Amino acid sequence: MRLIESDVSHLTLHGERIAYRKAGSGPDVLLLIHGITSDSTVWGRVTPGLARGATVLAPDLAGHGESHRARTDYSLGAHASTLRDLLLTLGHTRATVVGHSLGGGVAMQFAYQFPEMCERIVLVDSGGLGREVSALLRAATLPGSELVLPLLAASRLLDAGAKLGGLLGRVGLRLGTDLEQMARGHATLADGESRAAFLHTLRSVVDHGGQRVSAANRLYLAEHVPMLLIWGEHDSIIPVAHAHATHEALPATELAVLERSGHFPQLDEPERFLEELLDFVARTEPAEDGLRLWRGRLVAGRGRRAGSRAAL
């Protein structure tokens, strides 16, 4: 399935430009949230299939793609608030929230802050579900990394990595997509504003030891929300063990492990990705307004042991 990029639109929220792509006009709204150093084009191979029966919105998060790179708050909460405002501005009050990598953490934060707007949660190779993360991302949080990133972004190694990734992808090896997308992402860090946005975003969720933000101790609040985990079995950035652990802790969640995928299953296996996501949406009923339910769970859950810093 070839990659298709829909036209990008822009609007201004709170004085800052937000870019987004929209496709379809169906009754269900699918909000697609990309990961760090990525942008809305990462959904290009699955957008046409999703848009046949739904309205698809794929924004560029602040600091990414064609959205603004102002010196601002790049926390998960700030991203979630911007997405809430984007949805409302475009006339949508509820959505199925689909988050990839960092976008998974944003999706869970969105559900936590605005439960009345979240119909379903789909987490794709998501951050925020365990400590482990790739050594490259951990290294980028270290002091002085801002001095190294310009060299990395300008290095011929990126071109070589992208070419190797494309070659491996053409012969069906999943390493290709991870390597190619990592090279593409690091190439976006050539200018100072993009590097600053990347470092602010990354350091809000990752440190030298791994992921700082965990949803583990608050996921019970979303037990009434249909939740699907989609993961590449060969993810080289966030291990599939996080998906299995989350599924074991929350048996009501659904889990689809894509055997031929790495960190980007929507690119590695777009047909299978579409099959899993569309089937999940068709089979599940949207969650009801969660505020009343969440209050009951908060009261009942006061005795739960405190966990690590949480996104949800």
DSSP, collapsed to helix, strand or coil, labels residue 104 as helix
For residues 127 and 106, give the distance between their C-alpha atoms in angstroms, rounded to a whole number.
9
* Residue 117 and residue 87 in contact, taking contact as beta carbons nearer than 8 Å: yes
Q: Which two three-digit tokens encode residue 199?
A: 């470092």
Backbone angles phi, psi at 24, to 5 degrees: 80, 175
Backbone angles phi, psi at 68, to 5 degrees: -65, 155
Cα of 4 vs its chain's centroid, Å: 19
Helix axes 175-187, 156-170, angle to 10 degrees: 150
The model carries a pTM of 0.85
Of 61, 53, 87, give the one whose Cα is nearest residue 201.
61
Model pLDDT, residue 137: 83
Higher pLDDT pick, 217 / 52: 52
Phi-psi category of 24—alpha, beta or left, where left has phi over 0 and alpha has psi -120 to 50?
left
What pLDDT band is residue 159 in, cutting at 50, 70 and 90? low
Domain ranges of the chain: 8-133+213-300
DSSP, collapsed to helix, strand or coil, labels residue 289 as coil
Averaged pLDDT for residues 1-20:
81
For residues 3 and 88, give the distance between their C-alpha atoms in angstroms, rounded to a whole number.
29
* Residue 149 and residue 266 in contact, taking contact as beta carbons nearer than 8 Å: no
Is 19's pLDDT higher than 90? yes
Radius of gyration of the CA atoms of the chain, in A:
18
Per DSSP, what are the bridge partners of residue 8?
Answer: 21
Averaged pLDDT for residues 143-161:
54
What pLDDT band is residue 168 in, cutting at 50, 70 and 90? very low
Share of the chain above pLDDT 70, in %: 81
For residues 272 and 41, give the distance between their C-alpha atoms in angstroms, rounded to a whole number.
19
Averaged pLDDT for residues 278-285:
97
Q: According to CATH, what is the number of the domain 8-133+213-300?
A: 3.40.50.1820
Model pLDDT, residue 272: 98
Is 174's pLDDT higher than 50? no
Candidate from 26-40, 253-267, 275-289, 290-304 with smallest mean pLDDT? 290-304
**2-11, 164-173, 224-233, range with greatest mean pLDDT:** 224-233
State the chain's mean pLDDT as an integer: 84
Backbone angles phi, psi at 201, to 5 degrees: -65, -50
Q: Which two three-digit tokens encode residue 82?
A: 């911007």
Model pLDDT, residue 144: 67
Averaged pLDDT for residues 135-161:
62
Q: How far apart are the first and last CA of the chain?
A: 34
* Separate counts of helices (H) and strands (E) for the chain: 12, 10
Residues contacting residue 9 through CB under 8 Å, at least 6 positions apart: 19, 20, 21, 22
For residues 85 and 87, give the distance between their C-alpha atoms in angstroms, rounded to a whole number.
5
* Residue positions annotated with a catalytic role: 101, 235, 263
Q: What is the pLDDT of residues 197-252, one digit of tens each?
A: 888 888 888 888 988 888 877 888 888 899 999 999 999 899 999 999 999 988 89
Candidate from 59-73, 155-169, 217-231 with smallest mean pLDDT? 155-169
Model pLDDT, residue 302: 54
What pLDDT band is residue 123 in, cutting at 50, 70 and 90? very high
Model pLDDT, residue 278: 97
Question: Could you tell me the sign of the dihedral formed by the alpha carbons of 177, 179, 182, 183, in that order?
Answer: negative
Higher pLDDT pick, 291 / 174: 291
Averaged pLDDT for residues 12-29:
94
Candidate from 12-26, 43-57, 109-123, 279-293 with smallest mean pLDDT? 279-293
Is 15's pLDDT higher than 80? yes
Is 305's pLDDT higher than 50? no
DSSP, collapsed to helix, strand or coil, labels residue 54 as strand
Is 172's pLDDT higher than 50? no
Backbone angles phi, psi at 232, to 5 degrees: -80, 130
What pLDDT band is residue 301 in, cutting at 50, 70 and 90? low
For residues 155 and 262, give the distance between their C-alpha atoms in angstroms, rounded to a whole number.
24
The three state secondary structure string of 36-74 is: CCCCHHHHCCCHHHHHCCEEEEEECCCCCCCCCCCCCCC
What pLDDT band is residue 3 in, cutting at 50, 70 and 90? very low
Q: Which amino acid is at 136?
A: L
